[in-house]
Amino acid sequence: MELAERGVRLSNDLWVREVRHLSEKGHQSSILSTDYRSDLTKVASAMFARWCQEIFFKYMRQHYNLDRLVEYGTEAIPDTTRVINPAWRQLDSQIRRQNGLLSRELLQFAEIQLPQQMEPQQVEAYERGKGQLHQTIEERRHHIEQLKAQRKALAKHIEIKELPDKDRFQRLRSDRAPAPDDHPGS
């Protein structure tokens, strides 16, 4: 990190420390600080870290309406709000996991090759290993079909009121509570 510094006197006669960073592309970024004692790299890294935080909050305000979260707390979600059924989601997760395992087993099965020159006992071991893997694959396929049938029997979306108590949740409050200096009618 290429850094340089100099003292600067502002229009109100305040002396500050100007730290400049030169990027690899030749772009300079300037930082003003009243921290005269800290090492130059410490001042620069602290300010750049702050910039990263400010960029993060700018992004959150633009894309997630962060300014609407003006109050701590939660509130109930209307009972008619539709959400993904947790039981359906759990079965879907199991199906995805089983499909991943099945893909790996199918790959292993395809990679098993019979060498050109083998002794009879090696051929038996080859056939036994490939047969066991084939049986495992068939059992996994059957298990996946059972899971899919169970998932199909469940509704993907349900209303909040249909959720079991352990799966219920609340949302962040979005109402602005009046500040102490806000007076009605003023």
Q: For residue 183, is pLDDT > 60?
A: no
The DSSP letter of residue 182 is: -
99-126: b or e for each residue (b if 16 or more CB lie within 10 Å)? eeebeebeeeeeeeeeeeeeeeeeeeee
The model's pTM: 0.54
9-43 pLDDT per residue, tens? 999 999 999 988 888 898 888 888 888 888 888 88
Domains of the chain, by residue range, sit at 2-68, 77-85+155-177, 88-113+120-153
DSSP, collapsed to helix, strand or coil, labels residue 162 as helix
Identify the CA nearest to 46 among candidates 21, 24, 27, 71: 21
The tokens 């690899």 sit on which residue? 24
Identify the CA nearest to 92 among candidates 159, 168, 143, 156: 156
2-9 and 28-33 beta bridge pairing: unpaired
| Residues 7/40, Cβ–Cβ less than 8 Å | no
